[in-house]
């Protein structure tokens, strides 16, 4: 099953991707996490991406497309994958098609901008594995410690309210047109993303036809 998660920054894509991974046993491919790791490691791609990420802008298509192309060639993607944060522009969606990738489901998680602004102030992420938490809505078991790998949780630089505003504008201008792109292909499912994390997971698994994963 090849899945795309669409939605504004902060809509809950990473949170839901982590759940789907667990239930469906397919990897989460988060371009945000890949880019942050590249920046941390100081790779060429990371250096190219840095100024765009910090300004809340999109990294140039060619840089991100190359990263995804390389990642999808890895063995663990053979039985499917969840793309979280890619594609974010129509040329990225076209590039995915040109790679020969068939998409089975596009889950669009809808959350109004005002709610996003509130969510971002409480977001914490693992500085090592990239897992996502919220201080109130999705807290870790131990304060400031990642449940998955035990590393410290951090605040993302680009979660500053001014940068979030810019990122939302970029989303509306450049990413939202993808809804029409995938609707035309008949694979778009719209999910109400303002409900509790568990409710959104249930709706998402239903849309994927994988609700039995919750029972098993």
Residue span 63-82 as binding mask against ligand AMP, x where in contact by CB under 6 A, dash where not:
-x------------------
- As a residue count, the chain comes to 216
Name residues whose C-beta falls within 8 Å of residue 203's C-beta, 6 or more positions apart in sequence. Answer: 191, 192, 195
- In 10 A of CB 83, how many CB atoms? 25
- Catalytic one of 19, 71, 88, 124: 88
Q: Which of residues 6-35 bind ligand ADP (CB under 6 A)?
A: 7, 9-15
Instruction: Please identify, using beta-carbon distances, which residue of 94 and 211 lies nearer to ligand AMP.
Output: 94
Q: Is 156 a catalytic residue?
A: yes
Q: Is 195 a catalytic residue?
A: no
- 163 makes contact with ligand ADP (CB under 6 A): no
Name residues whose C-beta falls within 8 Å of residue 134's C-beta, 6 or more positions apart in sequence. Answer: 119, 122, 123, 124
The conformation of residue 89, written as its DSSP 8-state character, comes to S
Q: Which stretch binds ligand ADP (CB under 6 A): 55-63, 68-76, 92-100, 128-136?
A: 128-136
Instruction: Please select the residue that binds ligand ADP; options are 134, 153, 167, 204, rule is CB under 6 A.
Output: 134
- 53 makes contact with ligand AMP (CB under 6 A): yes
- Catalytic one of 48, 57, 156, 165: 156
- 119 makes contact with ligand ADP (CB under 6 A): yes
Question: Alpha helices of 42-176 — where are they, by DSSP H?
Answer: 44-54, 61-72, 90-98, 113-121, 161-170
Give the span between the Cα atoms of 50 and 102, in whole angstroms. Answer: 30
Comparing CA positions, the residue from 89, 119, 106, 96 lying closest to residue 15 is 119
Cα–Cα distance list, 125 to 10, 135, 139 (Å): 12, 10, 11
Instruction: Please identify, using beta-carbon distances, which residue of 129 and 214 lies nearer to ligand AMP.
Output: 129
Q: Is 124 a catalytic residue?
A: no
Q: Which residues in this chain contact ligand AMP in the complex, by CB under 6 A?
A: 9, 31-32, 35, 52-53, 56-59, 64, 85-86, 88, 92, 158, 167
Active-site residue numbers? Answer: 13, 88, 123, 156, 167
């Amino acid at each position: 099953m090849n899945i795309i998660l669409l939605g504004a920054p902060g809509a809950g894509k990473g949170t839901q991707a982590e759940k789907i991974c667990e239930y469906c046993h397919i990897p989460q491919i988060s371009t945000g996490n890949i880019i942050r790791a590249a920046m941390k490691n100081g790779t060429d791609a990371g250096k190219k991406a840095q100024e765009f990420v910090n300004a809340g802008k999109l990294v140039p298509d060619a840089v991100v497309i190359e990263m995804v192309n390389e990642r999808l060639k890895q063995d663990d993607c053979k039985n499917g994958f969840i793309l979280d944060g890619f594609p974010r522009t129509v040329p990225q969606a076209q590039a995915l098609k040109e790679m020969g990738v068939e998409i089975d489901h596009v889950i669009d998680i809808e959350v109004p901008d005002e709610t996003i602004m509130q969510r971002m102030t409480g977001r914490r992420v693992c500085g090592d594995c990239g897992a996502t938490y919220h201080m109130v809505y999705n807290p870790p078991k131990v304060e400031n410690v990642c449940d998955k790998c035990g590393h410290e949780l951090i605040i993302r630089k680009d979660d500053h309210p001014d940068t979030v505003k810019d990122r939302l504008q970029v989303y509306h201008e450049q990413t939202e047109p993808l809804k029409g792109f995938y609707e035309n292909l008949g694979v778009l499912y719209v999910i109400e993303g303002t409900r509790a994390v568990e409710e959104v997971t249930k709706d998402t698994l239903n849309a994927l036809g994988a609700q039995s994963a919750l029972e098993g």
